[in-house]
């Protein structure tokens, strides 16, 4: 019998998750169907419960529902508890379990796929929403020299820095307060790129040999990547690698088999999808 999975989000038309999980299923000979579901901003809980009632076995969660998913589920994994955000739902006999595979996906992409070590580096994380929450713990576990969280609403960045302070050297900042600093890795975890915008960053943030990493993805460069190129960043990456790697982690959780991510990353890079 075919098992059903999906991704919930708003917007969702850009999502490549159905392509990724379909490729994983073919690669590992798993009988699943995976779809993308647009959810009204006030209808997330209803959508999840309706999907599970109809036999859904699990789901991914994307913008803007990761923190709402955390509040919704009765059970959470330790990494979801640490993040305060959920991007993966697993349906079990006891109820819905929430997990967070974003951090594992990001670190795998940056350190292994891109060959960019995090340890000893100055890292800037832009944003303080669900996408940012999911990666702070794994980033600190990688032992950067410092991690700065910058956000338009500074109080949210401050709250995250306090929450994760026991794990490593982490601080908060307003965007304007970043002037005069430089970073080896700058990660855009805001959703601004979905609207063709970017955070109001000062010039001069990229150090030599730096990486500009955009969590979002789409055709062409995002405003953040364009900014990085204009500011002298040495390397650029969008979120395709992270997307595939976090999906591979979710697939393993659901099916008990770990797919190969590299062929799927290459497929997405080379396809006009």
* Binding-site residues for shikimate: 15-17, 62, 87, 102, 217, 246
Contact yes or no for 73/99 (Cβ under 8 A):
no
Residues counted in the chain: 273
Rounded Cα distance between 243 and 148, Å, is: 23
Q: Decide if 53 is catalytic.
A: no
First to last CA, the chain: 29
d(CA 76, CA 244): 22
At residue 209's C-alpha, the angle toward residues 204 and 213, to 5°, is: 75
Parallel, antiparallel or unpaired: strands 58-61 and 3-9: parallel
Distance separating alpha carbons of residues 214 and 95, to the nearest angstrom: 34
CA 53 from centroid of its chain's CA atoms:
27
Q: Which of 66, 121, 169, 229 is catalytic?
A: 66
Q: Cα–Cα distances in Å, from 219 out to 14, 18, 135?
A: 10, 17, 24
Closest to 110 (Cα-Cα) out of 233, 251, 226, 245: 245
For residues 200-229, one letter each, b for 16 or more C-beta atoms within 10 angstroms of the residue's C-beta and e for the rest, the string is: ebeeebbbeebbbbbbbbeeeebbbbebbe
∠ at Cα 252 (194, 102), nearest 5°?
30
Return the active site residues: 66
């Amino acid at each position: 019998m075919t098992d059903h999975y999906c991704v919930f989000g708003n917007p969702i038309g850009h999502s490549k998750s159905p392509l990724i999980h379909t490729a994983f299923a073919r690669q590992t000979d798993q009988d699943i169907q995976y779809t993308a579901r647009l959810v009204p901003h006030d209808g997330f809980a209803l959508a999840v419960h309706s999907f599970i009632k109809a036999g859904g076995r699990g789901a991914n969660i994307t913008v803007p529902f990761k923190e709402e998913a955390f509040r919704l589920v009765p059970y959470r994994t330790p990494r979801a508890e640490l993040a305060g955000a959920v991007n993966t739902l697993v349906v079990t006999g006891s109820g819905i379990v929430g997990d967070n595979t974003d951090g594992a996906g990001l670190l795998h992409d940056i350190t292994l796929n891109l060959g960019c070590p995090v340890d000893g580096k100055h890292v800037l994380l832009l944003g303080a929403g669900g996408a940012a929450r999911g990666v702070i713990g794994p980033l600190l576990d990688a032992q950067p020299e410092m991690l700065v969280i910058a956000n338009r609403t500074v109080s949210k960045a401050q709250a995250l820095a306090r929450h994760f302070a026991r794990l490593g050297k982490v601080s908060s900042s307003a965007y304007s307060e970043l002037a005069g600093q430089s970073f080896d890795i700058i990660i855009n975890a805001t959703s601004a790129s979905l609207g063709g915008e970017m955070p109001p960053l000062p010039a001069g943030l990229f150090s030599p040999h730096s990486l500009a990493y955009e969590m979002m993805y789409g055709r062409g460069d995002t405003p953040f990547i364009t900014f990085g190129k204009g500011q002298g960043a040495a390397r650029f990456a969008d979120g395709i690698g992270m997307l595939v790697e976090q999906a591979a982690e979710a697939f393993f959780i659901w099916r008990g088999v770990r797919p190969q991510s590299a062929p799927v990353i290459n497929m997405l890079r080379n396809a006009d999808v």
